[in-house]
Every structure is written in structure tokens, then in C-alpha cells.
Amino acid sequence: MAIAISQEAFDDMVRENMEDLGMDPDEALADAVEALTLQGADLAGIIRRVPGEAAAEEVNPVMRVLDELKASATASASGRSGEDLDSLVSSLDELRELCSGEEAENAAVAARNGGVEALVALCASAGVTQERLLASGLKALSSLIRDVGGTEKFRQSQGPKIVMDILKGALESTDVLDGGFSVVAAASAGNEVVKDAFMDLKVDELILQVMRDKSNSKVQSLYDAIRVLLTPDDNRVVASQVFGYSRKFAEIGIAEVLVIALREQVAPSSLPSACAALKAIAVNEEICRSISENGGIDVLLQCIDEAGIQKNKLIAKSCCSLLSKLAGSDANKASIIQQGGFDKFLKLTSRFSEDPSVIQEVMSLVQALTLRSPEHAALAISLGYGTLAIQTMQKFPSSALTQKQACLMIRNLVVRNPENRTILLKEGVEKLIRKAKAIHGSCKSTATDALRDLGLDNYNA
């Protein structure tokens, strides 16, 4: 556990370096940071300043906005005038801007100084009719929650129940729903206890209710909330419960509604998130088959065609990744191939011939489709996937991940198909694999396995 340190203690240490040890300001500041880091102190959210300097005396913009919000939050919701609300919304939007994106240090400053608790209290005090205030407050809150410390502060402030109550009372407001589910996603990330709290409050049933209303198709954060709730990302937990949650999501019909959303409702910008959400639910063969039976494979193949035409890399990769998961079912493998999947994926690689990240996803998908399936491996070779592997290895020799995915695909193409070994060896695949093995340490094991499955005796050389 990191050692907690206050802003006051940090400032005192810098001051002592200057006054007692005669260091100049920059040296004193650097020494304090280095010494505390070596001692294991948690410096996240500490404003690294030299006390007494003019610049240091200026109020940190995050602290300024936070102080304004804390002062405003003391007023009762019924006592806020229209001008007060406008001022609050403006401050909340400014705080979100200061803490969003790459501004992790600003978010840490706000969280360390009571920002999470203040925003939870502010949202709790707002009436459901104050939609602008709630939407801005929830979105600002989600920008502050960046780590386990933030998620714990949220939980200890009764955040899960407060946010769920707000969501249940704002089913007609897309902005409030979007802000609320962005908080669900942020607060559940890396914290199994918060996930459990939301599940105890029946967040799955609320998600289903929201998704069944087509007018809520613009609630993009909902897909992120599903994905995070179903991701086992808390390394403090020995046995995560999220596998069971995934099955519950499927049992109540969320997978089916997600497929419908992919077909009819999801905006292109939200499609990768929706695919990731569905992938998180597809945790066993039964669920994978049910997604296919509800038209999931057909929808994804259509999306891949459109992504290729529109050169949308994110959609192409997310759809291929989801299909790889669905291909865990043998029945789905056959369905994907029967619907012309191999041809579509090869066409996709030609449209993204300069982008190894898309080709990697396609090769990963082909691995899944040819796993333990010599018929599919034979078809893949006949359509040109062996050539794809060779040309990709030649074209992107410096990309370790691309070389590794090519080796993995080659293994599945040849391990049960001796005739495919002859074809690929004649095309010079051995030299390429050995080169990848020599250049990339991360490819060594995979390349060795590929050489062995090609039937070469000196595969360890």
C-alpha cells in the first residue's frame, strides 16, 4: 500500500529543503518528489509547487472550481435560482473539461480534495427536473473517478444507490442516462465491490429497460457500462463474480437486445463499444449460439462489409474481435463460413492492406475458425490465407504482434492438414518464421511451434 501524504506535508518538506538545507526552489521541489517517491508515498493529486513563489500562490484551477462547487452544494435544491443553476452547470462543465482525457493529474487533485464526495452529494441533492444539472454533474463525476481510490470514495459516499435512483427517475432524459451510465462504468472499473453493489441494485434489469426504449439509442455510455460490469479487472479478488453476471445478462435478454441495437439503432461511433459489450456477455457456447440464432453473425458480417467500404478501422477490428469470440462455438464457425465470411475477411485485408492492426484481427479470427477444423483450414488455404500470412510477414517484419499472429494462423492451417504444409513451405514460409523468431523475443515460442507443426525436424534451432 502506498503511504498517504497531505498537500500540507508536501509543502512543508519543500520549504524545509530550502530553509534548512539551503536548496534553491527547483532543487528543493525535485528532491522532495524524489525522496517521497523512494519512500513509497502516493503523490497522485499532490500539487507540485514551491510554497511562497508567486506562481504557487495562484489558486489551482481545479481547486478553484471545486471550492465553488462545494459552496454551491450547500444550498438546497429548491432554493437554487435559475442563475444559480446556470453557474453550477458552468462550473461542472469546467471541472469536467479540466479532468477529462489525458488530464489524469487534475482528476487526481480533485479526487484527493473531496471532489468525488462533493459531486455525489450535489447529484443527490438535485431534483429530477434539474436535468442539465444532473447531466453535467454525472459527467463531471465520471471524469474524476480514475483509480481504485476514486471508486472507493464513490462507494463509501453511497454512490451506487444514489446514481441508480437518479437513473430510475430520469428514464426520459438521454443526457442524464448517458451521464449516469458513464459513472457506472467509471466507478465499476477495477472494483469488484462496486460491481457487486450495482448488481445488487439490479442494474442489469435497468439496462434492459433502457435499451428496450429505442429513443435511448444515443445513450453511448450504456455499452461501456455493460463491458466494465462484466470484466474481471480487480486484481485484489481471487474469484470474480462477473462470469455469473454475464450469464445473467444473457438470461434476461440483454444479448438479444444488443443484437437488435447493432442491426437497427447503434450509431457508427458507438458500434465498437456495443460490440465490446456483446463480447463481454458471450462467455459460453450456449450464449454464443443464441447470439447467432438472433442474427448476430449476419449483422456483424454486414458491418464488416460497410467498415471496409468506409475505411472505418475501429468498426472493422471490433466486429472481427466479436466474431472471434462467437467462433468459440463450432456451429457458429460453420455459420460464419457458410455466409461467406472467409471471402469478406480477405476483402477486408485488401482494403486495409497498409494497416497491420486490422490484418492481425483477421488472422486471429481465422485462427478461431480453423481451430480443430481441417475442412476449414483446407478452404482457407484454397482462398489465399496462406499467401496472406506470407505477404503480411514480408510486409511488416518489424511488427512483433503481426508476426506472432501470422505464426499462430499458420499453425492452425497446417497442424491437421499435411497437404497445407507442403504448399506453404514451397512458398518460403520457413525462412520468414525463422526470421521472426530471431528478431522478436515475443515470437520465439509461437514461431517454434509453427515450425514444429510444419513438420520440420530442426524447429528448435
Q: Give how far Cα 460 sits from Cα of 69, 324, 437, Å.
A: 65, 30, 10
Q: Map grid coordinates 469470440 to a residue.
A: 325
Mean pLDDT of 255-267: 90
The predicted pLDDT at position 79 comes to: 57
More confident residue, 340 or 214: 340
Q: Give how far Cα 88 sits from Cα of 68, 119, 128, 461, Å.
A: 8, 11, 16, 68
pLDDT tens string 167-192: 999 999 999 999 999 999 999 999 99
The predicted pLDDT at position 75 comes to: 57
> Cα dihedral sign for 93, 95, 97, 101?
negative
Nearest to 413 by CA among 375, 445, 444, 360: 375
Query: Can you read off the three cell numbers belonging to residue 293?
Result: 440464432
The predicted pLDDT at position 3 comes to: 78
Mean pLDDT of 312-333: 97
Q: What are phi and psi of 68, to 5 degrees?
A: -65, -40
Write down the pTM of the prediction: 0.88
Q: What are phi and psi of 3, to 5 degrees?
A: -80, 130
Q: What is the mean pLDDT of the chain?
A: 92
| Rg of the chain in Å (alpha carbons) | 27
More confident residue, 57 or 367: 367
Are the C-beta atoms of 296 and 303 separated by less than 8 Å? Answer: no
Are the C-beta atoms of 134 and 179 separated by less than 8 Å? Answer: yes
Mean pLDDT of 87-110: 90
The predicted pLDDT at position 217 comes to: 81
Q: Indicate whether 214 pLDDT > 90.
A: no
Q: Indicate whether 58 pLDDT > 70.
A: no
Are the C-beta atoms of 201 and 225 separated by less than 8 Å? Answer: no
Mean pLDDT of 86-111: 90
Nearest to 207 by CA among 236, 235, 185: 185
pLDDT tens string 9-53: 888 999 899 988 889 988 988 998 899 888 888 888 788 888 876
